[in-house]
A and B are shown apart, each in its own frame.
Chain A
Amino acid sequence: MGEIIFIEHDNTKHVVELEPESTLMQIAVSNAVPGIDGDCGGECACGTCHMIVAEEWFNKTGAITDAEEQMLSMTPERTKTSRLGCQVKAKDAMDGMTVHLPEFQM
């Protein structure tokens, strides 16, 4: 089984199981990782699952839709490798991926 490493804003590390076909938001929420809310359940409707993917892994996360881009564009802590976790499906190729969590969600 693969794993995803979530790192909170205060550097607390959470190593959790990578469940292929789940989204990164679902994986974080299912494992009660603080710093990810995912309030709308994955509808790309709330913007509360902002994650910052480690640069070397970013190209594994797939394309950003227009809706996600609009949501991200107003996220204060946005970086070049920001994603909404609900829009990224986990896959085996992400084994060992590091994902940083922002200080605040919208």
Chain B
Amino acid sequence: MAIKRKETTVIVGGGHAAGALMTALLQKKYQHDVILVGEEPHPPYQRPPLSKNYLAGEVDQASLYLKPRSMYENGGYQLRLGVRAEQIDRDNKIIGLSDQSTLKYDRLVLATGSHVRRLKVPGSDLQCIHYLHDIADTDALRDQLIPGKRLVIVGGGYIGLEVAASAIKKRVGVTVLEAADRLMQRVTGPEMSAFFYAKHNAAGVDVRLNAAVTGFEAGDQGRVAGVTLADGGKVQADIVLVSIGVIPETALAEASGLPCDDGIVVDEFTRTSDPEILAIGDCTRHRNLFFEKMQRLESVANAVDQARIAAATLMGEEKPYNSAPWFWSNQYDLRLQMVGLSQNHDQRVVRGCFEKEEFAVFYLREGQVIAVDAVNMPVAFMVGKQLVQHRKSVSAEALSDPHSELRNL
């Protein structure tokens, strides 16, 4: 009887998706060799705490790791950290690495994640202008968050606002500059934006909307001293954080000729156009049966969901991606939990009370619940997960009626 040759699966990228994939393969007792190539010196870790309790100094670095490195190695998997994959030779199934070595693969999984969008305006190369994407970035920013310093955050999305909440706790003066006319405009509705605006203001954050940044002014020794705005205004700054989103990391895939469209294009089994190459996480534009259109999502839930699908695909199981996306954010004492994508809703229903800081916004389209944002109301999130996943039709009256039991909807 022929003995099946042991194959090598290489994972390029060392983020959450890569870690979740190795975990899923360990749990499924995947018998082939697995080698992870990661640019950062760390084993896969959780990024969400970076802007929250890690920045605030409440948790240590080791607690960010998805697992101790030894757990992967004890399972027979290899981690090659501090090395970057620089090219893929698909014809010969070889990857070229930044340390000049090469790796042969049978199956390849791209989990290359994303990189931060850079703000390109005059002065953007001054000292003390930060971005926040990894542990090193966060350590550098945290070192500068000294009481009395003035931090200006460019961008009022999740990351910017989470950093604002963490920094003000450290008695740093915080200004948030948002170019749009409301906070978190890309990801939530106007009620939520208004609520978070009021919350940050009350906490002492100077939030400015419609504030487009045109440049940075230099102070001593090449350090940033101020931010200039399109309306002619200026804001003084000792430290700047630019948090204006991320761009999927597709360079490696594109150079090897894999189809990309603002993300590496994959099907509902995480397969690229090359049958031996999968891609997962933030770097993908993917098919999810839950949606009609191809999606690109920047989220932990998508990273771990796709990792589990990829593990199934590698095991020869056919398990299509079919789940509603979900997200969370913590700011101050607020627990924001979200499910679904609210774009294209035609009706919003509020349940609960803004003043008590316990409420949820349900987003409907043609009577079906397509998304829910819940603040300090976990039950609405959990019910929402079911309503959204199954595209339930629920009347606005029932959703907003405080006497109706959510769990009976």
Interface of B is mostly: helix
Q: Contact: A106 with B385, CB < 8 Å?
A: yes
CA distance A34 to B28 in the complex (A): 8
Q: Contact: B304 with A37, CB < 8 Å?
A: yes
- Is the C-beta of A71 less than 8 angstroms from some C-beta in chain B? yes
Report which of B46, B68, B330 forms a contact with A30, defined as CB distance below 8 A. B68
CA distance A71 to B407 in the complex (A): 11
Q: Contact: B301 with A47, CB < 8 Å?
A: no
B68, B377, B379: most-surrounded residue (chain A CB, <10 A): B379
Q: Contact: B326 with A46, CB < 8 Å?
A: yes
Which residues A7-59 have CB closer than 8 A to chain B? 29-32, 34, 37, 39-41, 43-47
- Is the C-beta of A70 less than 8 angstroms from some C-beta in chain B? yes
Distance (whole angstroms) from the CB of B19 to the closest CB of chain A: 10
Q: A67-B335, A73-B382 are in contact. Are A41 and B48 (CB under 8 A)?
A: yes
Q: Contact: B379 with A45, CB < 8 Å?
A: no
Q: Contact: B378 with A71, CB < 8 Å?
A: yes
A30, A40, A106: most-surrounded residue (chain B CB, <10 A): A40
Q: What A residues does B67 contact at CB under 8 A? A: 29-30, 32
Q: What A residues does B379 contact at CB under 8 A? A: 70-71, 73-74
Q: A30-B68, A74-B407 are in contact. Are A40 and B48 (CB under 8 A)?
A: yes
Q: Contact: A106 with B382, CB < 8 Å?
A: yes
Q: Contact: B328 with A40, CB < 8 Å?
A: yes
Q: How many residues of A contact B (CB 8 A)?
A: 21
Distance (whole angstroms) from the CB of B56 to the closest CB of chain A: 14
The size class of the interface chain B forms with chain A is 20 to 34
CA distance A44 to B379 in the complex (A): 12
CA distance A26 to B145 in the complex (A): 30
Q: Contact: B383 with A74, CB < 8 Å?
A: yes
Q: Contact: B300 with A39, CB < 8 Å?
A: yes
Q: Contact: A47 with B382, CB < 8 Å?
A: yes
CA distance A9 to B223 in the complex (A): 58
Residues 370-382 of B, flagged 1 when their CB comes within 8 A of A and 0 if not, give 0000001111001
Q: Contact: A45 with B75, CB < 8 Å?
A: no
- Is the C-beta of B112 less than 8 angstroms from some C-beta in chain A? no
Q: Contact: A41 with B378, CB < 8 Å?
A: no
Which residues A54-101 have CB closer than 8 A to chain B? 67, 70-71, 73-75
14 A-B pairs besides A29-B67, A30-B71 with CB distance below 8 A are A32-B26, A32-B27, A37-B304, A39-B301, A40-B48, A41-B46, A41-B49, A43-B328, A44-B378, A45-B328, A45-B337, A47-B382, A75-B382, A106-B385
- Which A residues are within 8 Å of any B CB, using their own CB? 29-32, 34, 37, 39-41, 43-47, 67, 70-71, 73-75, 106
- Which B residues are within 8 Å of any A CB, using their own CB? 23, 26-27, 46, 48-49, 66-68, 71, 75, 300-301, 304, 326, 328, 330, 335, 337, 376-379, 382-383, 385-386, 407
Show 20 A/B contacts (Cβ-Cβ < 8 Å), sorted by A: A31-B71, A32-B67, A32-B71, A39-B300, A40-B328, A41-B48, A41-B49, A41-B300, A43-B335, A45-B328, A45-B337, A46-B326, A46-B328, A47-B378, A47-B382, A67-B378, A70-B378, A70-B382, A74-B385, A74-B407
